[in-house]
Amino acid sequence: MNRFQRFEDIDTSGDQTLPRPPTSTTVTVLDLGPQLPDAVPQRPEPTATPARWLDFEEDTAHFVALVLKFRRERAEFVQKHGSGPVTLDTDPVSAREMVERGDGRYILKQGADS
């Protein structure tokens, strides 16, 4: 074999790819828009170490940044789509990933094929 020929492993060259879901199978997902973060930093006790107070201040600053980001993204979402949820039709795999990774932004529509 010369350097321009492709080398294929004998064990995997005959494998078939995974089947794709049919294009007619769609799942309806509702996009509720950006969601407000729910992990509010808790104030430490007055006897906490200075390092714990510093962590609290950093966590609070990060939380405030997330709230400001939420306000900006929510305003853009409402301007573009209105205040109601947006209906998205997608394949089952993408719908599952959207719901799992969306942090509450996406939900499956009731009565949709799963």
pLDDT of residue 39: 85
CA distance readout (Å), 36 to 3, 65, 80: 56, 11, 18
What φ, ψ does residue 106 adopt, rounded to 5°?
-115, 140
Say whether pLDDT at 2 is over 70. Answer: no
Residue 112: which pLDDT band, with cuts at 50, 70 and 90? Answer: very low
Say whether pLDDT at 108 is over 60. Answer: yes
Query: 96 Cβ partners below 8 Å, 6+ apart?
Result: none
pLDDT of residue 27: 87
Q: In the sheet that 27-31 helps form, which strands lie side by side, from edge to edge?
A: 86-90, 27-31, 106-108
User: Which of residues 55 and 112 earns the better pLDDT score?
Assistant: 55
Across 20-47, average pLDDT: 85
Residue 51: which pLDDT band, with cuts at 50, 70 and 90? Answer: very high
Instruction: Give the chain's mean pLDDT.
Output: 83
The reply to whether the predicted model has a pTM over 0.75 is: no
